[in-house]
Structures are given as structure tokens and as C-alpha cells.
């Protein structure tokens, strides 16, 4: 039996958010007083995990003649997640007692808001603890690698190559484990939509990635082959990734602001349309666009398109696409579908705005924790990388100085060594492959750079383009450390003999 582990992990993370969004959709369209069959059919056409089960229920009733009450119970037995199973069973009981779908689904949305809020806050607290554990883990890892580095250069412990490779594997495994844990415990979110129409910043970043990413790969390989200094390679990677990262961060900030304002926009628009009994286009003429802050320009563009006779679906589609936000994409679609079905715009706007506002408030709580971790990661990465380079450079200078001294004073040192007890095992001035040890240290710094960038991205969330920003920033820090620390050590520690 084939098991798609990646898909299973993704579903486990997305299940609560999917339930939240799907229930908001079902509750909104139920206000249009449509038939039960239509509620299940429209719900099954949405993207997500719960709609798959709604589709099974709809097929059982249409093709096999089951009542919706029994169909919900049958499908609930197949549900693997407790939340989905409990919802379907409650839905079955509500249908059997004659409770109206609008009332039941409205109550489910209120319940789901509380459940999702509690889970999200628990995830944020767990993430906060694991980010602290991650920093402690990497500090301990740096200490272990430093001890291995000192031991391999001072003592004859055995095959230096094997010890270094095993240490590198340990560092890679430990860093990967820490990054994976942060990925799993961080609250699951989808901030950027997957529509063909993108925001201006997303389109620019996408085009730059098409050119820059292959250039980074080719440049890095050529630089390593011709023996370019490691700090130069790090600096090149940082400079190439910086434009994409900066554009990605700008887009991420715009999406954050737009997500904060979409709740007030949909609520105000629904309230005006419901009170005046007009269409959404006519209601937009009475909307105070100053009250929607960051969405003012986008809404003004939407309004101009609507009054110029362009099809409303095309206008709204481009409005959503140009914001770049998945939250706006999802909840605007819910709002429009429910209004098109004949629901009360005021009720729908209230339901949609309440759910979207809850998500943005929860994201603000996450940002408080993740921003602290991001601000800590930069100096911590500099300190960990600096310690490794610092220790290596001291041992490198010390080893070279002793090697020169032993060459000049070979006779005296040789006579003294005869009287030394066997088994001391010092390797000072011995055949240590300093070039290999230097490469080993650079590889560890590279592992730390990649791991810290990924951990920061998973903790903060946001667009994948922001990952280029974290990579650029940490590669710049690594380049500065690899360049500056050896110079500092050579100027501070001058060995005389």
C-alpha cells in the first residue's frame, strides 16, 4: 500500500483551517434559503478536505437513494480526522431533528471560531517553546563541533577525515530535525493564492527567480571549482537573492495590510447592499473608500471596471488576483457566491468578516512570537559561525607557528620527546590536513545558514519569496563572519617564539 507521507502531513496541518473555511462557506450560502441538495452540491465543489466527504454524501443521496441523515453517518465512519467525523455526526443529528441548515451551520461557524482560535493559540505557544529549543539545540551543536575541531587539531584521535565527516552528518541531521519540528508545530497558513493573475510584486519576483536561481547554481559551482574564497561565494549568493527577497517582503507586507482591511470592506459593502436593497456595484458608490485603507486603490480600480460594463466575475477575479492574498481570494469568493444565490448581503458580510477578522487577529499573535525569533536568529547565527571560524583560525595560527618552531628547533625537541611518556597522543605540528579542516568549518557554517533561514521562514510564515530574503540576510552575515574573523584573529593573536 502506497502512503503519500508529504500529502498526509499537509492534510494533518491544514485540516482545522480547511474546516473553518468550508463551514464559513456553507453557513454563508445557507442564508440564501437554498435546498439541502444544493448546499451539499455547492459545498462539495470547493477545494479542501471536508468537501471530499460532502461529495461522497451527495453521491450517496443522488445515486443510491440514501437520506442525507443516513449518508452523513455512513461517511462519518470513513472520516479519519475526529473533527470531521464529529461535524458530520452533528450534522446528521441536526437534519434528523428538523433543524434548519442555516441555524445549524451558523452555530457551527461560531463553534469553529472558538475551536480554531484555541488550536492556533496552542500552536503559537508550542512554536514559541520549540524556537527556544531550536536555539539551544544549535548552540549545543556548535559546541560539539567546536570540541571535535579542537580535538582533531590537537590530539591524534584517529582518522581526522572520518571524524569530520561524521561530525558533519551529525550537524546536518540535528539542524534538519530542528527545522522539521518548527515546520510541524508552526500554525498552518496559506497567505498567497495560486491564481494565474498575481500581484505586481509576485510577478516581478517570479520573473527574477527564473533568471536568478539558475545563475546562483551555475555561479556557485564555477566559484567552488576555480577556488574562489568561501566568503566571496556567500556574498555573491546573498547579492543575487537580495532583489527577490526584498520584493517578496514588500509583497508580504502589502498582503498583511490587505488581509487586515478585507473584513471591514466586505462587512461595509454587505451592510450597504442589504440596507439599500441594491446591487454590490451600486452599493460601492456609497462606500467610504477611505475606511478600507490599504484596499482603497484596489477597490477604486474594481469600481471603475464594474461601471464601465466589464463582466462582474472578471472584475472581481482581477481584484482578488491583484491583491495576491489567499485570504481575500477565499472570503471574497464566499461573499460573492452567497450573494449571487440570493442571500442577505448584510448577514453574509457579517459572517465572512467575522471569520476573516479572526484569522488576521491570530496572525498578529503569531507575529509577536516569530518576529522575536527572527530578530534573535541573526545575531545568534553570527555568534555561532563566528565561534567556529574563531576557534579554527586560532588553532590554524597556533599549529603553523609550532610547526615552524619544530623545524628550527628539531634537535632539541626530538631529544626532549624521547623522555616523554608514551600514550600522551599530542598531534601538535603533526600531519593535520588544514585545508580539509577549513573546508569542514565552511560546510558547517553553510549548514547553519540554510537551517536558520528555513527555520525563520517556517516560524514567520508568509510567501515563499520571503525565504530568499532570509537566505540573503544570513548568507551576508556568514560572508561577513568568514571574511572578518580571520583578520581579527591574526591582528589580535600574534604568536612569538
Does residue 493 contact residue 397 with C-beta atoms inside 8 Å? yes
CA distances from 365 to 120, 163, 256 (A): 9, 44, 13
Question: Where does the pLDDT of residue 431 fall: very low under 50, low under 70, confident under 90, or very high at 90 and above?
Answer: low
pLDDT surpasses 80 at 151: no
Q: 163 or 497: which carries more pLDDT confidence? A: 163
| Whole-number pLDDT of residue 421 | 45
Q: 62 or 424: which carries more pLDDT confidence? A: 62
As a whole number of angstroms, the distance between CA 210 and CA 208 comes to 5
Q: What percent of the chain has pLDDT over 70?
A: 88
pLDDT surpasses 90 at 7: no
Q: Which stretch of DSSP H or E encloses residue 11?
A: helix 5-30
Spans of all domains in the chain: 5-99
pLDDT surpasses 70 at 493: no
Does residue 352 contact residue 334 with C-beta atoms inside 8 Å? yes
Q: What is the pLDDT of residues 251-262, one digit of tens each?
A: 999 999 999 889
Residue 461 half-sphere exposure toward CB, CA atoms < 13 A: 23
| Whole-number pLDDT of residue 148 | 80
Q: What is the pLDDT of residues 445-458, one digit of tens each?
A: 999 999 999 999 99
As a whole number of angstroms, the distance between CA 460 and CA 5 comes to 24
As a whole number of angstroms, the distance between CA 172 and CA 145 comes to 11
The mean per-residue pLDDT over the stretch 432-437 comes to: 75
Q: What is the pLDDT of residues 221-240, one digit of tens each?
A: 998 888 889 999 999 999 99
The mean per-residue pLDDT over the stretch 288-316 comes to: 86
The mean per-residue pLDDT over the stretch 37-54 comes to: 88
Q: How far is CA 202 from the centre of its chain?
A: 16
The mean per-residue pLDDT over the stretch 147-154 comes to: 76
Q: 407 or 297: which carries more pLDDT confidence? A: 297
| Whole-number pLDDT of residue 156 | 57
Does residue 322 contact residue 203 with C-beta atoms inside 8 Å? no
Does residue 128 contact residue 369 with C-beta atoms inside 8 Å? yes
Q: What is the pLDDT of residues 166-207, one digit of tens each?
A: 888 888 999 999 999 999 888 888 889 888 989 899 999 999
Question: Where does the pLDDT of residue 68 fall: very low under 50, low under 70, confident under 90, or very high at 90 and above?
Answer: confident
pLDDT surpasses 90 at 81: no
What rounded mean pLDDT belongs to the chain? 84
- What is this structure's pTM? 0.86
Question: Where does the pLDDT of residue 318 fall: very low under 50, low under 70, confident under 90, or very high at 90 and above?
Answer: very high
| Whole-number pLDDT of residue 423 | 41
| Whole-number pLDDT of residue 438 | 85
Does residue 187 contact residue 126 with C-beta atoms inside 8 Å? no
The mean per-residue pLDDT over the stretch 478-491 comes to: 89
Question: Where does the pLDDT of residue 471 fall: very low under 50, low under 70, confident under 90, or very high at 90 and above?
Answer: very high
**Residue with cell string 493559540:** 121
**Residue with cell string 485540516:** 15
pLDDT surpasses 70 at 326: yes
Question: Where does the pLDDT of residue 65 fall: very low under 50, low under 70, confident under 90, or very high at 90 and above?
Answer: confident
Residue 474 half-sphere exposure toward CB, CA atoms < 13 A: 29
C-alpha cell at 344: 442577505
The mean per-residue pLDDT over the stretch 376-399 comes to: 86
Does residue 72 contact residue 90 with C-beta atoms inside 8 Å? no
Does residue 456 contact residue 374 with C-beta atoms inside 8 Å? yes
Amino acid at each position: 500500500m502506497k502512503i503519500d507521507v508529504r500529502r498526509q502531513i499537509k492534510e494533518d496541518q491544514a485540516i482545522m483551517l480547511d474546516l473553518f473555511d468550508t463551514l464559513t462557506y456553507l453557513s454563508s450560502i445557507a442564508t440564501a434559503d437554498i435546498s439541502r441538495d444544493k448546499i451539499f452540491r455547492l459545498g462539495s465543489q470547493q477545494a479542501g478536505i471536508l468537501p471530499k466527504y460532502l461529495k461522497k454524501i451527495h453521491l450517496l443521496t443522488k445515486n443510491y437513494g440514501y437520506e442525507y441523515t443516513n449518508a452523513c453517518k455512513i461517511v462519518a465512519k470513513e472520516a479519519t480526522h475526529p473533527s470531521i467525523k464529529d461535524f458530520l455526526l452533528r450534522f446528521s443529528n441536526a437534519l434528523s431533528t428538523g433543524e434548519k441548515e442555516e441555524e445549524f451551520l451558523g452555530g457551527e461557524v461560531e463553534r469553529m471560531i472558538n475551536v480554531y482560535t484555541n488550536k492556533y493559540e496552542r500552536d503559537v505557544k508550542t512554536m514559541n517553546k520549540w524556537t527556544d529549543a531550536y536555539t539551544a539545540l544549535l548552540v549545543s551543536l556548535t559546541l560539539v563541533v567546536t570540541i571535535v575541531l579542537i580535538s582533531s587539531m590537537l590530539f591524534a584521535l584517529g582518522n581526522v577525515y572520518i571524524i569530520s565527516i561524521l561530525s558533519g552528518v551529525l550537524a546536518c541531521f540535528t539542524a534538519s530535525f530542528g527545522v522539521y519540528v518548527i515546520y510541524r508545530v508552526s500554525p498552518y497558513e496559506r497567505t498567497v493564492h495560486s491564481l494565474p493573475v498575481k500581484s505586481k510584486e509576485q510577478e516581478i519576483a517570479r520573473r527574477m527567480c527564473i533568471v536568478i536561481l539558475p545563475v546562483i547554481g551555475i555561479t556557485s559551482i564555477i566559484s567552488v571549482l576555480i577556488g574562489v574564497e568561501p566568503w566571496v561565494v556567500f556574498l555573491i549568493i546573498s547579492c543575487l537573492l537580495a532583489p527577490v527577497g526584498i520584493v517578496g517582503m514588500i509583497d508580504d507586507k502589502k498582503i498583511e495590510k490587505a488581509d487586515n482591511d478585507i473584513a471591514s470592506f466586505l462587512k461595509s459593502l454587505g451592510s450597504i447592499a442589504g440596507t439599500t436593497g441594491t446591487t454590490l456595484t451600486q452599493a460601492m458608490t456609497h462606500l467610504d473608500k477611505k475606511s478600507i485603507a490599504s484596499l482603497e486603490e484596489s477597490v477604486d480600480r474594481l469600481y471603475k471596471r464594474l461601471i464601465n460594463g466589464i463582466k462582474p466575475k472578471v472584475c472581481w477575479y482581477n481584484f482578488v488576483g491583484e491583491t495576491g492574498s489567499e485570504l481575500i481570494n477565499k472570503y471574497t469568493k464566499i461573499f460573492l457566491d452567497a450573494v449571487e444565490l440570493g442571500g442577505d448581503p448584510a448577514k453574509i458580510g457579517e459572517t465572512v468578516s467575522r471569520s476573516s477578522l479572526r484569522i488576521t487577529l491570530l496572525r498578529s499573535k503569531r507575529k509577536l512570537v516569530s518576529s522575536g525569533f527572527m530578530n534573535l536568529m541573526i545575531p545568534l547565527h553570527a555568534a555561532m559561525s563566528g565561534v567556529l571560524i574563531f576557534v579554527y583560525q586560532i588553532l590554524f595560527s597556533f599549529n603553523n607557528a609550532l610547526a615552524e618552531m619544530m623545524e628550527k628547533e628539531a634537535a632539541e625537541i626530538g631529544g626532549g620527546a624521547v623522555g616523554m611518556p608514551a600514550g600522551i597522543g599530542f598531534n601538535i605540528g603533526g600531519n593535520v590536513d588544514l585545508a580539509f579542516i577549513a573546508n569542514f568549518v565552511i560546510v558547517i557554517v553553510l549548514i547553519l545558514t540554510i537551517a536558520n533561514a528555513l527555520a525563520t521562514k517556517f516560524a514567520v510564515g508568509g510567501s515563499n519569496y520571503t525565504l530568499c530574503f532570509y537566505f540573503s540576510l544570513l548568507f551576508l552575515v556568514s560572508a561577513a563572519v568568514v571574511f572578518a574573523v580571520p583578520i581579527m584573529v591574526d591582528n589580535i593573536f600574534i604568536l612569538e617564539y
